[in-house]
Structure 1
Amino acid sequence: MSREIRLNAFEMNCVGHQSPGLWAHPRDRAWQYKDLEYWTDLARLLERGRFDGIFIADVIGIYDVLGGNGDAAIRQSTQVPVNDPLALITPMALVTEHLGFGLTASLSFEHPYPFARRLSTLDHLTKGRIGWNIVTSYLDSGARNLGQKALSDHDARYDYADEYLQVLYKLFEGSWEEGAVLRDRERRIFSDPSKIHEIRHHGKHFQVPGIHLCEPSPQRTPVLYQAGASSRGKQFAAEHAECVFVAAPSKTILKKAVADIRRRAAEAGRDPRKVLIFNLQTVIVGETDAQAHAKWQDYKQYVSYEGALALISGWTGIDFAQYQPDQVLKHIHTNAIQSAVEAFSSADPSKQWTVRELADWVGIGGFGPLIVGSAETVADELQSWVEDTDVDGFNLAYAVTHETFVDVVELLVPELQKRGVYKTEYSQGTLREKLFGDGARLPASHPAAGYRDLARLRQADAALA
């Protein structure tokens, strides 16, 4: 029997997310991103489609690699303007009961102490439906605006992230014991100070002596997402992440990535099946194959070549303005370009990718693959990706919003449900319980569990001193 397919909607609090230029399509609503109704309408729609969650991307900074400035990104609304993602969650939670929320926030630009309070607050307000996508950022423009000359070295950012998570785990898991909150009206005691502990963290990057400001939320630690593609990033994900987001353009690349992440998780002492892996994917669904392809041709008229190049340049750190549209990628000698060529060539080794063809690919849905067809055709493809690669589900980017998600909910989801590979009802409980079928808290095998007894940890540290 085929495995259940899981779906997240991939969104961002901006105009142009993964489909640059399509904001100009007459049916696209992305220009309304700054209106609450845009987000509450979307949340209701996704819950009707039994989506596991909405995965909200974010960047701090602008895509200013193309041409050495941000003009193209600004002109084409390529992830700019971009508003804060955190403020979206409360109103969406208010109009839904089950939908999960994956919040992207860069630990490079957020101190862990106030950030822990924001996450706990959201977990309380949503009754345990919060996840955090852990990112270390990749745009130097963001670092410069926060007083840094540039982002630190790639691997050094993950070393920083390791300590960042130590602080959060101590705050979430160890600062307040179970039973610390009494709410005893007769004795007029709300909390028991003897069960609330200062974390006394003294590390290389952070000095955090005090207690967590929030009482324990339904999940304590939010569901942990991570999207690192490098070897160091995958190792970090294998040790910490419960859900991993990848953007593999072909089954060959995805299968290798999934196997690598599961192997690393097992080596870290975790159950590799308890790490859910989602691939970036875009689907264009119609009543028939012909209708879906006609819709695709309509959408393609609005793709911005310049906007796509701004995205690719920002993602790779290479200024594509220096290359002609018909220049073959294999003839561009940089490490980043070669890795991109290898990834795309795995789908068709005989194909010669040009700069324009790469931009066309990215123009609808980013680096992830695009599937076009009837509900039956798209369902066949998604099932084959799951069966051939061992991926758990997909982060679906939109071509035209909310139209892409309406088509998924009204056409694709019923087909998947008919096949028995998609839930017909939500299970009860927190986001973690819905995803894994276990408890609301992180399992004992997760490294965060090691920080639940701070008194014992301090005694051990003292013995070693």
Structure 2
Amino acid sequence: MTKQIRLNAFNMATPGSQASSLWHYPGNRVGDYNTLGYWKDLCKILERGLFDTLFLADVLGTYDVYGGNPDAALRRAVSVPILDPVQLIPALADNTTNLGFGVTCTLTYEPPHVFARRMSTLDHLTNGRVGWNIVTGFLQSAGKAAGHGAIPGHDRRYDIAEEYMEVVYRLWEGSWEDDAASRDVARGWFSDPAKVHKVKFEGEFFSTDTIHLCEPSLQRTPVLYQAGASGRGRAFAGKHAEGIFTGGPSKKVIGDQVKKIRAECVAAGRPRDAIKIYTLATAVVAETEQEAFRKYDDYRRNVQHEGALAHLSGLTGIDLSKYGLDEILTHIQTDAMRSAVESFTSADPDRLWTIRELAEHQSIGGRGPVFIGSPAQVADQMMEWVDDTDIDGFNLAYVVAHDTYEDFVNLAVPELQRRGVYHTEYTPGTLREKLSQTGQPRLVAPHPGAGFRYAEAV
């Protein structure tokens, strides 16, 4: 029997996300990405469809690997221009009641105590509905923009991330006792100094000597997501993540990733199913199969392959402009997003991809599958993927804003609900309470972050 399917909406604060270069498609609203009305309308659709979160991906550099410059990315709006997604969240939270907000923030370029305050602020202002997608960064252009020069090597970035996590856990969980901000009117004390504790940390990469600047929020630590599917990324996720985002073009690629992620959970002393695993996917759904394929074929006629290849070049660290369209992509070790390279090469040796096929696949929906058909057909495909790969749900990308999500909510969601594989109402409480099996708003053992809470630490 198919498990209950979870859904996130994958988005970026840019006119060019996963459907590279389709910003110009007739009726596409994505050109209004820099207005609050655009995002508020999207959130209404997602909350009506009972999505877990609006997941806002982000990058701090430009996709400038293709041709050695950002020209193709600029022409096709491949993640540029792009807004700071964090700024959107309080306004959108005020316009919704249950929808969660996951946001990508790169830990490489921001001191832990500054970042910890930003996330605590979001958790307060969203009433406990925020999650953090932990990324170490993969674009060399981001390192140059921040004045760091070349970014550290792939595994070294995870060494930095481990230390970063210890610092933010200490700040979020250990600095303030639960009743420290007592608001004691009789004494005129807002906070009790005896219950606010300094975090002193001296490590290889970070040092701090401070109290956390925010009183405890509902979740203390935001819900923790992670998107690394390399060997080192899976080990990191098995230890820290509560949700993980994967991406790959076939059930074999995703199924193998899921098995390894579940194994890393167990190796870290956590339950096998402690992490909700979402894979990137896109759904083109219509009343009939013929109408769905008519839409899909029309999308394909409008894509510009240059945008897709600029996007893939940035993800993989491989300049695909140097390849002929009919050449086969082979596995190359890079310090960019290793899972992006592996998913089209070594992860499935029975499937060889030409550069042309990569561009056509990436152009609509990114690295994940595209489900096309009537509501029943799309539901069949989604359930089959869940059953065959052991994922928990999907990170649904869009092709045309906001038509893709509107069609899915109006047509596919009722079909999934009719089959009993999708919820019919939100679970009350924080984002963590909605997603976790613990029913608690805060981290609990054996998650390592729980051990840094002041009472437990003492």
Could you say which TM-score interval applies, normalised by the shorter chain? over 0.9
Q: Does the residue aligned with 2:81 lie in a helix, a strand or coil?
A: coil
Structure 2 counterpart of 1:10:
10
Structure 1 counterpart of 2:385:
385
Structure 2 counterpart of 1:342:
345
Asked whether the 8 Å contact 1:243–1:278 carries over to 2, the reply is: yes
Establish whether residue 80 from structure 1 lines up as the match of residue 80 from structure 2: yes
**199-208 vs 6-15, which deviates more?**
199-208
CA distance in 2, matches of 1:446, 1:88: 29
Judged with a 3 Å threshold, the aligned counterparts in structure 2 of structure 1 residues 114 and 70 are, in CA distance, closer, same or farther, namely same
Count of paired positions: 452
CA distance in 1, matches of 2:341, 2:70: 25
CA distance in 1, matches of 2:370, 2:15: 20
Residue 333 of structure 1 and its aligned partner are, at CA, apart by 6.8
Establish whether residue 401 from structure 1 lines up as the match of residue 397 from structure 2: no
Alignment of 1:249-398 (within 5 A): 249-329=249-329, 334-335=332-333, 339-342=342-345, 349=350, 352-398=352-398
Residue 342 of structure 1 and its aligned partner are, at CA, apart by 3.3
TM normalised by structure 1 equals 0.94
CA distance in 2, matches of 1:114, 1:421: 41
Residue 208 of structure 1 and its aligned partner are, at CA, apart by 1.1
1:347-402, CA deviations, whole angstroms, 9 ceiling, x for partnerless residues?
Answer: xx3x6532111100000011111111111001001101111111000000101111
Alignment of 1:89-168 (within 5 A): 89-168=89-168
Counterpart amino acid of residue 149 in structure 1: G
Residue 256 of structure 1 and its aligned partner are, at CA, apart by 1.1
Judged with a 3 Å threshold, the aligned counterparts in structure 2 of structure 1 residues 155 and 328 are, in CA distance, closer, same or farther, namely closer
Judged with a 3 Å threshold, the aligned counterparts in structure 2 of structure 1 residues 371 and 121 are, in CA distance, closer, same or farther, namely same
CA distance in 2, matches of 1:456, 1:334: 44
Residue 204 of structure 1 and its aligned partner are, at CA, apart by 1.4
Counterpart amino acid of residue 339 in structure 1: E
Counterpart amino acid of residue 124 in structure 2: H
Q: Does the residue aligned with 1:181 lie in a helix, a strand or coil?
A: coil
Asked whether the 8 Å contact 2:266–2:272 carries over to 1, the reply is: yes
Establish whether residue 449 from structure 1 lines up as the match of residue 450 from structure 2: yes
1:7-56, CA deviations, whole angstroms, 9 ceiling, x for partnerless residues?
Answer: 00000000100011110101111110000000010111100000001110
Unaligned runs of 5+ in 2: 335-339
Structure 1 counterpart of 2:337:
none
1:155-176, CA deviations, whole angstroms, 9 ceiling, x for partnerless residues?
Answer: 1111100111111000000000
Q: Does the residue aligned with 2:108 lie in a helix, a strand or coil?
A: coil
Asked whether the 8 Å contact 1:253–1:343 carries over to 2, the reply is: no
Residue 327 of structure 1 and its aligned partner are, at CA, apart by 2.2
**402-411 vs 336-345, which deviates more?**
336-345
Residue 343 of structure 1 and its aligned partner are, at CA, apart by 5.9
Structure 2 counterpart of 1:411:
411
Q: CA RMSD in A?
A: 1.6
Structure 1 counterpart of 2:63:
63
Asked whether the 8 Å contact 1:45–1:409 carries over to 2, the reply is: yes
Residue 202 of structure 1 and its aligned partner are, at CA, apart by 1.4
Alignment of 1:163-202 (within 5 A): 163-202=163-202
CA distance in 1, matches of 2:55, 2:92: 13
Asked whether the 8 Å contact 1:282–1:371 carries over to 2, the reply is: yes
Residue 443 of structure 1 and its aligned partner are, at CA, apart by 1.0
Residue 326 of structure 1 and its aligned partner are, at CA, apart by 2.1
Asked whether the 8 Å contact 1:249–1:343 carries over to 2, the reply is: no
Asked whether the 8 Å contact 1:7–1:393 carries over to 2, the reply is: yes
TM normalised by structure 2 equals 0.96
Residue 341 of structure 1 and its aligned partner are, at CA, apart by 4.1
Counterpart amino acid of residue 126 in structure 2: T
Counterpart amino acid of residue 222 in structure 1: P
Asked whether the 8 Å contact 1:326–1:354 carries over to 2, the reply is: yes
Structure 2 counterpart of 1:460:
none
Asked whether the 8 Å contact 2:61–2:140 carries over to 1, the reply is: yes
Structure 1 segments of 4 or more deviating over 4 A? Answer: 335-338, 343-346, 454-457
Q: Does the residue aligned with 2:371 lie in a helix, a strand or coil?
A: strand
CA distance in 2, matches of 1:370, 1:33: 23
Establish whether residue 54 from structure 1 lines up as the match of residue 28 from structure 2: no
CA distance in 2, matches of 1:20, 1:367: 12
CA distance in 1, matches of 2:215, 2:221: 12
CA distance in 1, matches of 2:398, 2:456: 48
